[in-house]
Amino acid sequence: MRFVITLIRKAWKKKHRLRYLEVFLPDKPPGRDWDSFPDLLHPALKTYYVKSLVRDLSESLEGGDVEIRIDINPGNNAVGEKDDMKENALHWAIWRKDDDIAERILSMSGSALDEGNIAGRTPLHLASGRGTLKSLQLLLAHGFDVDRRSYGETPLSEAVRRRDAAKVALLLTEGRATPDLHLDEDTPTALWVAASINDMTIVNSLLAYPAVNVDVQNIEQKTPLHVVIERHGDKGLEVVRALRTRAVASLGMKDNSGLTPLSLAEAQGYSQVVQEFRKP
């Protein structure tokens, strides 16, 4: 008995309403345009397709009437197989926001699939960035490594860069991510990244941890205060205010240009930020 677990919602680029009228399971569907599909397949997964009642598959493709459905291939080791990008089936499911397949894969293999792809990105990196909140919850519940780095990026920094406050909160609370984990020389910590994008909600989430380092500097000796002023000026006033209340050394710390946060604001003419620094 063929059991369809879920479907890929964007198997074809055209955004037409799909009509599910026939289901086939051949080795390769008929029609000359099958190779035109985006790369949606993984060796651990088998593919179904649904099309409308037209004579030729190519007509369905042109009309946007085709959608792919997938299931997991049988076999204990199937989900651990890797494709050309060194991604296992869990990477595949997370990237395509297929939570049903991800949940089934996790029930079979759990954290055994906590491994990096060709770029070092684990399923948790993908879930923290492109994936769904549910997929992130599933991976954390199975004990995936929340502080693992991939070229200087952690799952937490992925979520920060995406401005996803809900994922940031989940990684910090349920995942117990390390807020001050060093990323790289340019963007040293998650708080530094949050300041650089002027995200007040995420800055507050990170400042909720008393030991978080507000004075951290990047390779140019810029602190979070420097970067929010430099990139956002008076529009970053709320973040400046929040950081200033916690800053210890960075109020007087100089970047490679010899500027403190205050002298930077003065040089750029950010009057509201200057007034904030001059408050008692």
Which residues are paired to 76 by β-bridges?
none
Determine contact, residues 169/180, Cβ cutoff 8 Å: no
**Class of the domain covering 82-178:** mainly alpha
**pLDDT computed for residue 97 by the predictor:** 87
β-strands 6-7, 45-51: how paired?
unpaired
**pLDDT computed for residue 3 by the predictor:** 30
Question: 137: exposed, middle or buried (C-beta count within 10 Å: 0-12, 13-18, 19+)?
Answer: middle
Question: Structural domain boundaries of the chain?
Answer: 1-74, 82-178, 182-280
Check if CATH label 1.25.40.20 holds for domain 182-280: yes
* Average pLDDT for 208-228: 95
Placement of tokens 């050309």 in the chain:
84
| R_g of the chain computed on alpha carbons | 24
The predicted model scores a pTM of 0.76
* Average pLDDT for 71-90: 74
**pLDDT computed for residue 244 by the predictor:** 94
Contact partners, residue 5, CB within 8 Å, separation at least 6: 69, 70, 71, 72, 100, 101, 104
Span 144-158, pLDDT tens digits: 999 999 988 999 999
